[in-house]
Structure 1
């Protein structure tokens, strides 16, 4: 803390007010050019084979979701629906809504300068998370029409489904009622985020959740919860620049390693796509490109076969590396043995590090951006507004509604991460451990 420059609350307040004034002045300046981004979310009764679709017929994206499919889902699947159909999470339950460096346009950092203490909330990040608010608000309305408030579904998912499916006995949680106002809903839901994370962390460490023991524990942020699994995630070793260069050459379109004759006319976007679909020779590259290919060979990503063609040394590891490129980490136990062996080799080389939290490092940053300002100076700090005795403006219903759906989204994601962690632990006990016993 000695190297941090700490500002008083009054100084920060003055800075925030000045920021609002300068922004307002800029918006009202006739020289300012304003662009608007538009989309719509539709829950349709029209029968369609697709459970979701996107169209651009109106000149902007229209996200359409089939109501009949929602009706057909079980109560637990209605919760999982948010992660899967809304695309908040990928198939391995990695959070798609985080800021991804690979989604940031090259020109954005130049025009949207961010301080080192600011969350990198660039345009794609804002688009994804704005869409998520409207997805959840619309979904909430559909569920209310079905007589199934989403809060009751979540309570049942946490208490009943996780217990019946995985023998996880969580303590009862209290979520808002339909009739509660937006401000009251925010004040009720936030403590339950911390509560659920702390319950799970206690379960991981003690193999049980004792309410009296839980009451004696110090406060804990939701992002600090641990996983049941050792080495849950393999992540980029930030102190080793080699892995970032490797991933850039493999997956970034800006590397231009897919731009080689005679395949330049084909719509490949990365070296991985090119080599998977084409038979590419080492000598087809120009001299300045060969230095990059040599770098990948030296780092055991590529090899040259007897015919001079480029091949991957371990094709099975590519999906995991793609995840690390995209998310900054991969969920280790979701991959097969060959992929895990490849990740272990990169770990031994010091290119990767392991993490045993319930959330990845970047996911913890995402949660922190919304919940507090301990890590980022540009976060929403909902903890300060709704859990620390502050008095937000009671008549600002729109702001409270947005805050509520943002926190509700975090709650759903947290429950799905717990579900995935329990599923993986059960799978490892059922599949991996018996294999090791037989081999020994």
Structure 2
């Protein structure tokens, strides 16, 4: 609540508050510790990344022509950052061309030099992500269930929690426990099949549906292909009711926003604009090697996240393809 009040931003500003900065700092420290561990084992992370594109993709998925060139460990972190940002854009473009054409044509790769648009890197999976629709109904559902401002979070000093989901998970709450001014909202959630009243307690009507709703609130999207069969049935029902929509990209919108915040001015005015600053040579000349090392950690973190997204997309596509052949 405090961060929401104190961290008000303009329409084009990425929401950066205390919680974000704490997680960001912890993540960078973890990245640094992992690099130090690998170095103690005589392993260079960038060479592992090169192995992923040059060997793993060929052996695991039969994908050839992908490449990643690691930076020279003998150069400064300024040069390594510039190199790594360029290579990250290259592998993103390589993946996009592979998805669009079913193969990677190196000649086509050399013809494209546009800056990567992370929100539109394609996926091999149709309808990969579920997003909350623009309907008032789904917005109301998410607010009542998960918001710390929901009228259903607090019944009395005995029955209270951060949100309604926590309240129902952590307490046996009967319908009669709710105050009279809360029962209309409970009736609404029961009526649309989000909650059910067993007579003994109020509980979730469909656990799979609740997991999807939780993902929509907490991460702004849910991956359809990570759902169980029952989860997919629930998701299909939510699509039919107009609660959610499906779209297909490598990253969720929120993940792409995260990349754009750090790398460019594509969506936000308050980001460090690292990609543009380093590739255009406009970073401050007085920046120390420590500053460039910190940027290197950010670049490593981003490219590792990108590789995880690619591998997940490829693995899920292979599983779906195998399932289709078996059915």
From 95, 107, 111, the counterpart of 2:6: 111
Which residue number corresponds to residue 35 of structure 1?
Answer: none
Which residue number corresponds to residue 125 of structure 2?
Answer: 229
Shift in Å, 1:140: 1.2
From 53, 59, 75, the counterpart of 1:158: 53
Question: In structure 2, what is the Cα distance between the partners aligned to 1:340 and 1:414?
Answer: 25
From 127, 135, 138, the counterpart of 2:22: 127
1:400-435 residue CA offsets vs partner (Å, 9 max, x unmatched)? 11111101110000000001111111111223x246
Shift in Å, 1:315: 1.6
Which residue number corresponds to residue 187 of structure 1?
Answer: 82
Say which SS state the counterpart of residue 310 (structure 2) adopts: helix
**Does the 8 Å contact 2:159/2:167 carry over to 1?**
no
Which residue number corresponds to residue 414 of structure 1?
Answer: 306
Question: In structure 1, what is the Cα distance between the partners aligned to 2:33 and 2:201?
Answer: 52
1:174 counterpart = 2:69: yes
Which residue number corresponds to residue 405 of structure 1?
Answer: 297
Say which SS state the counterpart of residue 209 (structure 1) adopts: coil
1:196 counterpart = 2:91: yes
Which runs of 5 or more residues in structure 1 are unaligned?
A: 1-105
Which residue number corresponds to residue 339 of structure 1?
Answer: 231
**Does the 8 Å contact 2:239/2:245 carry over to 1?**
yes
Describe how 1:31-42 pairs up with structure 2 within 5 A: none
1:344-395 residue CA offsets vs partner (Å, 9 max, x unmatched)? 2222222212221100001111000011012101011112212234354165
Which runs of 5 or more residues in structure 2 are unaligned?
A: none
Structure with the larger RCO, 1 or 2 (CA within 8 Å, 6+ apart): 2
Shift in Å, 1:203: 0.9
**Does the 8 Å contact 2:7/2:16 carry over to 1?**
no
Describe how 1:325-336 pairs up with structure 2 within 5 A: 325-336=217-228
1:301 counterpart = 2:197: no
Question: In structure 2, what is the Cα distance between the partners aligned to 1:308 and 1:204?
Answer: 52
1:292 counterpart = 2:185: yes
Question: In structure 2, what is the Cα distance between the partners aligned to 1:257 and 1:122?
Answer: 27
Question: In structure 2, what is the Cα distance between the partners aligned to 1:344 and 1:367?
Answer: 30
1:279-325 residue CA offsets vs partner (Å, 9 max, x unmatched)? 533232111111221231243212334x3643433222222221111
Shift in Å, 1:266: 6.9
Shift in Å, 1:123: 1.1
Question: In structure 2, what is the Cα distance between the partners aligned to 1:336 and 1:259?
Answer: 33
**Does the 8 Å contact 1:151/1:177 carry over to 2?**
no
Shift in Å, 1:248: 2.4
From 240, 243, 247, the counterpart of 2:142: 247
Q: Which is helix-richer, 1 or 2?
A: 2
**Does the 8 Å contact 1:183/1:394 carry over to 2?**
no
From 346, 350, 356, the counterpart of 2:248: 356
